[in-house]
Amino acid sequence: MSKQKICVMGLGYIGLPTASLLANRGYQVHGVDVVQETVDIINQGKIHIVEPDLDTFVQSAVNSGNLVADTKPTEADIFIIAVPTPFKANHVPNVDYIVAATKSIAPYVREGNIVILESTSPVGTTDLMEKTLREEGVDTSKIHFAHCPERVLPGKIMHELVHNDRIVGGTTPEATRVTADFYKSFVKGEVLQTDARTAEMAKLTENSFRDVNIAFANELSILCDKFGIDVWELIELANRHPRVNILQPGCGVGGHCIAVDPWFIVDAAKGDARLIKTAREVNDYKSEWVVEKVKNVALTFEKEKGRKPKVACMGLAFKPDIDDLRESPALYITRRLVADNIDVLAVEPNIQTFDEFPIVDYRKAIEEADIIAFLVSHKEFKDLEIDADKKILTFCKLDVKQKVPVA
């Protein structure tokens, strides 16, 4: 008996790894993306994003004939929606992409199909998908709707898609059961069953928990700078307490999940998510604090040297060793410095070109810059030894040494 056919809506950081994994497990996968260039790249067995091992999975899936990319959906047994869920002005959730993807599958959905939402989304979005299809004239009474939030770490997606526990929540108990059975066919972690609204809230809760803890670390870093304390040493010492585990501060919080999802709770809570809202504000403020810190150092340099300094912004991605710029605080900081007429050398080892400003090789940037601001702890930046006359600002945990000045 042939395996079920799957239609994956969205071939980005979650959709493409999921599609290629399922295709390599023997499923017939029809991947859909609205960008023709993305479709063409994938159909050549290549990838358009940076993710370890993904290129091997995609090449194998395409060569086997089990993965085909297109700009339009087709009939399938299972539909997986994995499109972005950003927010609008004032941090209001934007589910337009989910609604558009749901409408696009309306002509192809049949009785007995499973429609899965993997996109992180506000509570009630799975119900909204069902409502949307019903308004498109689809009889949804015998279609199974479920939410199964992705919970993978960029850089380890192909491993974690298989080994992490997954939460499955259907709009009915039967939808939960059949969807869970599907995930059990390729997930080695435990598949945890609940209802759709709880599954939606679980993902938002996971990322809000992390955001609150990062906010504590970021606030500590601001206080330590004020008090003249090494925050990295402080956290290392505090974490020797058997019940303390403080995270590492950075220049803010980025990525499509942690920087976005807590706002979904804040928007729905109407004033009751006070701690979650404050944590978001602290983490957003950290990026502004970094901008002012760099500008003040640049101003001091200009007063002392009589010329504007060159500032190397080391890293643009939202976390180490990936090319993902979504909600990146490092990119935001770099943009702000450029807009404020700082002479910036933008460094990002994981991308070749960028529309807004040139990307400079990190070795050249270190050689030419007067001020070096480490924003992301990419592997290329570790264990560097930099000339003593350079001003170093470290906003992420890195072991950077300066050469002893020649007497």
Please identify which of the residues 148, 203, 313, 391 carries the catalytic annotation.
Answer: 203
Radius of gyration of the chain (CA): 23
394 membership: H or E segment, kind and range: strand 391-394
- What is the DSSP code string of 305-347? HSSPPEEEEE--SSSTT----TT-HHHHHHHHHHHTT-EEEEE
Euclidean distance between CA atoms 244 and 246, whole angstroms: 6
Euclidean distance between CA atoms 106 and 102, whole angstroms: 7
Structure tokens at 166: 């997954």
CA distance from start to end of the chain: 78
Catalytic residue flag (residue 257): yes
Cα distances from 222 to residues 25, 225, 266, 351, 398, in angstroms, run: 48, 5, 25, 30, 17
Euclidean distance between CA atoms 258 and 256, whole angstroms: 6
Catalytic residue flag (residue 403): no
User: Rounded to the nearest 10 degrees, what angle do helices 274-305 and 329-339 cross at?
Assistant: 40
Please identify which of the residues 7, 148, 251, 257 carries the catalytic annotation.
Answer: 257
Euclidean distance between CA atoms 327 and 324, whole angstroms: 9
Catalytic site residues?
203, 257
